[in-house]
Amino acid sequence: MKYYNQLTLEDLLAKTLLELDFLHEEVDRNVAGLQATGLNTLLRALVDLRQDGPLSSTAAEAIRLVHNILDASIAGETLGHRNAFDGTNDPDLGAIGRVTVVPILSHSGECLRVIRTHFRKILAMRDLLAARIDAEAQIARCRAA
């Protein structure tokens, strides 16, 4: 995200829209093997998000649709679960961290996970964009007062 902080507001918006285009192309190739109805709904939500803009009043609904479809599809591609240690091994204190449950995904599930990760990156860019626009508006109000 450090890279995105250095972009101008216009460049950040352009990059966010470009990432939405890339994600749409990735989903359109349907490497994840989504069902037709889920694929069409997902593509339509991405088009709406791209056309209306990531900060539009309809963006929240499109984002909810994408999340729901991806989460449900990934859950359907989960073969099982395994424990994974997230932490470090200190020589004096031993293992410091926690054990998390990680899903074991099919090939299609892995493809869907990659798509979801890409979508989460776009959402982080959207959040940064919204924060910068809000900051500029608040600064303008302070200067006017």
pLDDT tens-place string over residues 108-122: 999 999 999 999 999
Q: Are 58 and 52 a contacting pair, CB within 8 Å?
A: yes
| Domain range annotation of the chain | 2-144
Residue 95 pLDDT greater than 70, yes or no: yes
The pLDDT assigned to 1 comes to: 64
Write the single-letter amino acid at 96: I
Tell me the whole-structure pTM to 2 decimals: 0.85
Residue 32 has pLDDT above 80, yes or no: no
8 Å CB contact between 52 and 16: no
- 42-92 residue pLDDT tens: 999 999 999 999 999 999 999 999 999 999 999 999 999 999 998 998 888
pLDDT in the model for residue 65: 95
The yes-or-no verdict on residue 24 having pLDDT over 90 is yes
Distance set, CA 59 to CA 52, 121, 123 (Å): 7, 15, 11
- Per-residue pLDDT for 96 more than 80? yes
> What mean pLDDT comes out for the span 3-28?
93
Q: Count of CB atoms within 10 A of residue 79's CB?
A: 9
Q: CB of 104 within 8 A of CB of 79?
A: yes
Average pLDDT over residues 127-142: 93
Q: Mean pLDDT in the chain? A: 92
- Mean pLDDT to the nearest integer, 99-106: 93
Residue 33 has pLDDT above 80, yes or no: no
